[in-house]
Structure 1
Amino acid sequence: MKENIIFIHGLTGNQRAFNKQMNYFKGKYNTYSYNLLGHGDDRGQQVDFSLDKLVQQLEELYENKGIDEAHLCALSFGCYPGTIFATKWKYKVSSLCFIGGHYNFPSRLFEVFMHYWDNLDEDYSTWLKKYTNAIYPKGNVFDHYSTLSQKIYYKYGLELEESILLRAIEHRLEYDLRSDLRKLEVPILWVMGEHDYLYKSSLKELNKDIPHVIYREIKYAGHAANLYRPNCFKDMYEEFLVQHQQEKTHTY
């Protein structure tokens, strides 16, 4: 019987963010993806973008597809509903993979979140432009990784209902994801792009918080490393899944 993989996209994206991985892994696994609230057919509409509702979405996917257990692979903010679900429903999660994951450790990243949460007095487009440039800062004038991320995030961020990105900042400032991560016992692969400097700043105690985590970096990649170098990510993830399967078989 095939195992299941559920892919969870990040903010401003949609379920197509993992198309290449979905197509590759569907031969050996049942693969699923879905649109986070406010990112699919309801894009631009006001939604209840609460963590409870985001976790409920995942619960409903399990129920609707008849999934008993699955590997969860989440991009960026997707690590929030993914982690919370895994701590709530431990027996339903085989493993976790986070790409560009981050959490509430004092860092330059969270200083940016705090600053833009405290400065909401501009129109949304102006605020979004400044916020986008801040979360994807350029290392130098030739930093095409950040330039591309800025363009994509701003373009699709404008299409979202204005409260969604604000609620996402609020979640990351107020919800103690770090405590949830410390409770996890399932295998965890944490993948970051080599040039994702700002988001990596929140991971200074990752090995202390999750001693069994497998940390990998993808060279020549920015924040959404699976999009920059899909084949490299595919190889890393496949190796992780195969290793998990071998260890599981050995245990039994």
Structure 2
Amino acid sequence: MKENIIFIHGLTGTKDAFKKPMEYFNRQFNTYSYNLLGHGEDRGKAVDFTLTNLVSQLEDFYEQEGLKEAHLCSLSYGCYPSTIFAKKWNNKVKSLCFIGGHYNSPSQLFDVFKHYWEIRHEDYPTWLRKYSHDIYPKESLLDPYSIISNKIYYKYGLELNDNILKSAIQHRLKYDLRSDLSLLKVPILWVMGDHDSMYKSTLTDLNTVIPHVIYKEIKHAGHAANMFRPSCFRDMYEEFLTSLIVKAKG
């Protein structure tokens, strides 16, 4: 019987963010994805974008698909609902994979979050343009990774209800994800793009928080490393999953 993988996209994205890896892994696994609240078909609609509701959404997805357990693979902010879910329902999560994951650690990234939370009442397009620039800073004029991420985040962020990105900042400032991560016992693969310096700034104590974590970097990639270098991500994730299956078989 095939094991299950649920792919969870990040902010401003859709379930199609994992279309290619889903097609690849579907040969050995049952693969699933869904749109976070306020994304996909609900893009632009006002929703109650809370962590409680995001976790409930994942619970409902398990029930809807008749899943008893699954591997969770999450991009960026998706690490929040998936971690909280794994803490609450550890028997339903076989492993976690975070791409561009981050948590509440003193860092350059969290300084940016604090600033944009304080000025959240600015005109939304203006606020979003500056925010996109600062979370994906152009390290040099020739850095294509931040430039691409910046443009994509701003373009699709404009289509969201302005409550969503601001609520997500509040979650990351107020919710102690670091403590949740420290309690997890399931296998964890943490993947970062080597150019993702802003988000990597939160991970200085990652091995202390999660001693059993497997940390990997993808060269020549930005924040959504799976999209910059899909074959590299696929190979890393496949190796991780294969090792778990072999270990389970004894």
- TM-score tier by shorter-chain length is over 0.9
| Partner Cα distance (1:25, 1:166) in 2 | 34
Please report the TM-score for the alignment, with normalisation by the length of structure 1. Answer: 0.99
Structure 1 alignment gaps of length 5 or more = none
| Partner Cα distance (2:60, 2:121) in 1 | 37
- 2:193 corresponds to which residue? 193
List per-residue Cα deviations over 1:45-96 (Å, max 9, x = no partner).
Answer: 1001000100011101100111000000000000000000000000000000
Shift of 1:219: 0.2
| Partner Cα distance (1:219, 1:15) in 2 | 25
| Partner Cα distance (2:61, 2:2) in 1 | 17
List per-residue Cα deviations over 1:101-159 (Å, max 9, x = no partner).
Answer: 00000000000000000112420000000000000001100011000001100000000
- 1:224 corresponds to which residue? 224
- 1:155 corresponds to which residue? 155
Match status 1:126 vs 2:126: yes
| Partner Cα distance (1:179, 1:248) in 2 | 28
- 2:3 corresponds to which residue? 3
Give the secondary-structure state (helix, strand or coil) at the position aligned to 2:6: strand
Give the secondary-structure state (helix, strand or coil) at the position aligned to 1:106: coil
- 2:97 corresponds to which residue? 97
Runs of at least 4 residues of structure 1 off by over 4 A? none
Please report the TM-score for the alignment, with normalisation by the length of structure 2. Answer: 0.99
Give the secondary-structure state (helix, strand or coil) at the position aligned to 1:231: helix
| Partner Cα distance (1:73, 1:7) in 2 | 5
- 1:239 corresponds to which residue? 239
Match status 1:26 vs 2:14: no
Structure 2 alignment gaps of length 5 or more = none
| Partner Cα distance (1:120, 1:49) in 2 | 16
| Partner Cα distance (2:157, 2:166) in 1 | 11
Give the secondary-structure state (helix, strand or coil) at the position aligned to 2:40: coil
Task: Map 1:75-90 to 2 at 5 A.
Answer: 75-90=75-90
- 2:211 corresponds to which residue? 211
List per-residue Cα deviations over 1:17-72 (Å, max 9, x = no partner).
Answer: 00010000001000000000000211101001000100011101100111000000
RMSD: 0.5
Q: How many equivalent pairs are there?
A: 250
Identity of paired residues, percent? 66
- 2:171 corresponds to which residue? 171
Give the secondary-structure state (helix, strand or coil) at the position aligned to 2:41: coil
| Partner Cα distance (1:111, 1:121) in 2 | 18
- 2:52 corresponds to which residue? 52
